[in-house]
A and B are shown apart, each in its own frame.
Chain A
Amino acid sequence: MLAWFKKSRRLWIVLLPYLLWIGVLFVIPHIKLFGLSFIDYRSGDITLKNYAKFFQSSLYRSVFLRTAMYSIITTMLTLAIAFPTAFIITKILGAKMKALLLLSIVLPYWISELIRTFAWMVLLRETGVISYLLQAVGITTHNIEFLYRNSTIVVGLVYTSMLFMIIPIMNSLDSLDDSLIEASYDLGGNFWSTMREVIIPHSAPGIMVGSIMVFMLNLGNYVTVTLLGGKNSLWFTENIYNQFIVRFNQNQGAAFGVILLTFSVLVVWITLKITKQDMSGAM
């Protein structure tokens, strides 16, 4: 079976769909984007103007910084919720409850992100369910707008990317032999030392994969952020969208895209360095 695939020509044929996919949808567009970002929008000359504009404008810079900060905060928050959840699902619950809980985590992802976000809007808007309930209980006497706040964006992002954190952490915890936890206790360890020395080091690859994925998803999110944050969301993807769609300035948009990509690659690389992981280990 493996020998059959090892014949090089067969291997290439089997890999062809993947190579087409990565080539047509990833490599070529990014080369194109990269090229576009160095071209002047009006004259067509080669220029660094598009990048200069980003660094000169305090608006773009602060929107970018804000996007980066919120992406990191949201990733950490997602991790803080996902890790205990994944731990309980894999290590504490019986098979039946495990399947049920896992299903309940996956189920929302059968619905499109757009619809899920609309559901949040139904709950959170001024005339929405939560506002109504608060009035019904008597906590407040008037409508409260929960949408278009920073915290709403955070909640939406945590919710929408939770699965991508939980699954890789569950995978890594699954491979942790329960007797290692018992051995730690047997040798005098307690909850925290066992977490710190045994459980977290073992699941570090899963934590890294989850964090990288969630961070990338947050950074590049558009739908959730714009719908829940509204005009004031000030998310960097919105700037890219505006350049491409509203102002028809592909070159400026491309430069923003390259900046965003460079930044996310940088963050991932630094994180891997700090945690002494490597990409192959994490993936």
Chain B
Amino acid sequence: MPREIDVSVVNLTKQFGSLTAVNNVSFDVPKGSFFSILGPSASGKTTVLRMIAGFEAPSSGDIFIGGKRMNDVPANKRPCNLVFQRLALFPMMNVIDNVTFGLRRRGGISKSDMVKMAQDVLDRVDLKGLNQRKISQLSGGQQQRVALARSLVLDPTVLLLDEPLSALDLKLRQDMKLELKRLQARMGTTFMYITHDQTIALAMSDTIAVINFGKLEQVASPDELYRRPATHFVASFVGENNQWNNGRVVKLVDDNTCQVDFGGLLSVARAGEKLAVGDNIDLFIRPEMILLQPGRKDSGIVGKIKEINFDGAHSLVVVDLVDSKVPLTINVKLQHTEQTPEVAVNDIVTLSWGQAAANAFHHVAPIADKKEA
């Protein structure tokens, strides 16, 4: 049985003058799920969110929330609430007045009921005994909680979050990330989270929509996104990657697997899209999926260690591939297991990886000179 859909976006497009900020985007957000829109800055993700919230009108396309078309419904009548990037708490009010603000707008609720409802939500976000505090007297984390409570108290069909964690320092962000995920699971409210930070998106989401230059690249679970990127952009954007440009397909093993050639070096690769022999491709190799063995082995790719960046669990080894006719280097995540060899700079090592570690896509010219949209 298909899951109920809370938010549905159909062929959504937004033009700002000659600029297409959002280009024909469609996706469905299942009820009760944690849905993220992930994209680099200025990719159009915030515009999508603002259109759902009702602060921007779509140039074309439709928005449905809870099955109802929202295009002509003003922002203050939509069953969704937005947690703003800079929170936008009302500095002239104390905590409880901030949280009851939306309830007061509804009318027909007695003052004591409002306070009770607000108190209930404040308890859920673990913010007690601060009702009379001014916003400026709260810490960053407490302000986040007030912002969440202020929206959640209205029991929205969907809660929209515009990178509210980005203002916090790293440690607090890590804590809030987990807490937000737990809160969402506990409340069962549908969350739509906008972020440019893939670690946040991967850790929290049930489903992620990756967007770039206003276009939807892929909608998938974090796991799927990581293992099977659908486009060149997703492969380059999600997770860490070694990117080699301008290789050639030499053999198709099956529908999903091919062999690619970089200056005489052969590698097995997952074909991220339909490829043919002779195609010019870029290869993305996950540094954490590479096996590193000391010395020269019969199979695998031989290299010489150029540098070692030791950082505990995140240690990276940079290896020059000596057998290639074109200069190639690769970053390898150092695994810390019993079998991990002790390595030093200038050691000869053999690297090997499987189909799952390497994704091949048709070559795309670097976008460095392309204007940010």
Contacts and interface: CB of A to CB of B under 8 A. Distances in A.
B75 A185 contact: yes
A179 B88 contact: yes
B165 to A, nearest CB: 16
B55 interface: yes
Interface in B173-220: none
Contacts of B102: 187-188
A187 B84 contact: no
B92 A183 contact: no
B105 interface: yes
A188 B104 CA distance: 9
B106 interface: yes
Contacts of A182: 55, 75, 82, 84, 88
Contact of B90 (A185, A186, A188, A198): A198
Interface in B80-127: 81-82, 84-86, 88-93, 101-102, 105-106
B102 to A, nearest CB: 4
A125 interface: no
B81 A187 contact: yes
A201 B106 CA distance: 21
Contacts of A177: 86, 88
Nearest to B75: A185
Interface in A178-209: 179-180, 182-190, 193, 197-198, 201-202
Interface residues of A, number: 17
B76 A186 contact: yes
Nearest to A179: B88
B105 A186 contact: no
Given A182-B55, A184-B101, A187-B150, A197 B90 contact: yes
A179 B84 CA distance: 7
B82 A186 contact: yes
- Residue among A187, A190, A198, A201 with most chain B CB within 10 A: A187
A201 B92 contact: yes
A191 to B, nearest CB: 10
Contacts of A201: 92
Contacts, number: 61
Contacts of A190: 76, 105
A167 B53 CA distance: 33
Nearest to A201: B92
Nearest to B106: A188
A96 B85 CA distance: 27
Nearest to A191: B76
B92 A186 contact: no
Contact of B92 (A185, A188, A202): A202
Nearest to A181: B88
Contacts of A189: 76, 101, 105
Contacts of B55: 182, 185-186
Q: Which of A179, A186, A201 has the most CB of B within 10 A?
A: A186
Contacts of B150: 187
B90 A180 contact: yes
B92 A187 contact: no
B349 interface: no
B21 interface: no
Given A182-B55, A186-B53, A186-B82, A193 B105 contact: yes
Given A198-B92, A201-B92, A202-B92, A187 B86 contact: no
Nearest to B99: A187
B88 A183 contact: yes
Most buried by A among B81, B88, B89, B106: B88
Interface in A84-123: none
B59 to A, nearest CB: 20
Interface string A253-283: 0000000000000000000000000000000
B88 A180 contact: yes
B163 to A, nearest CB: 13
Contacts of B82: 182-183, 186
B154 interface: yes
Nearest to A202: B92
Given A182-B75, A193-B105, A197-B101, A188 B154 contact: yes
Contacts of A198: 90, 92
Contacts of B101: 184, 187, 189, 197
Interface in B36-80: 53-55, 74-77
Contacts of A180: 88, 90
A201 B91 CA distance: 10
Contacts of B86: 177, 179
A187 B156 CA distance: 10
A202 B90 CA distance: 9
Nearest to A204: B92
A201 B88 CA distance: 15
A183 B106 contact: no
6 contacts: A183-B82, A184-B101, A185-B54, A186-B81, A186-B82, A197-B90
Interface of A: 177, 179-180, 182-190, 193, 197-198, 201-202
Closest A-B pairs by Cβ, 10 of them? A188-B105, A187-B102, A183-B88, A179-B88, A201-B92, A185-B76, A185-B75, A179-B84, A186-B82, A188-B76
Interface of B: 53-55, 74-77, 81-82, 84-86, 88-93, 101-102, 105-106, 150-151, 154
Given A183-B89, A188-B106, 7 more contacts: A177-B86, A179-B84, A183-B90, A185-B54, A186-B151, A187-B150, A198-B92
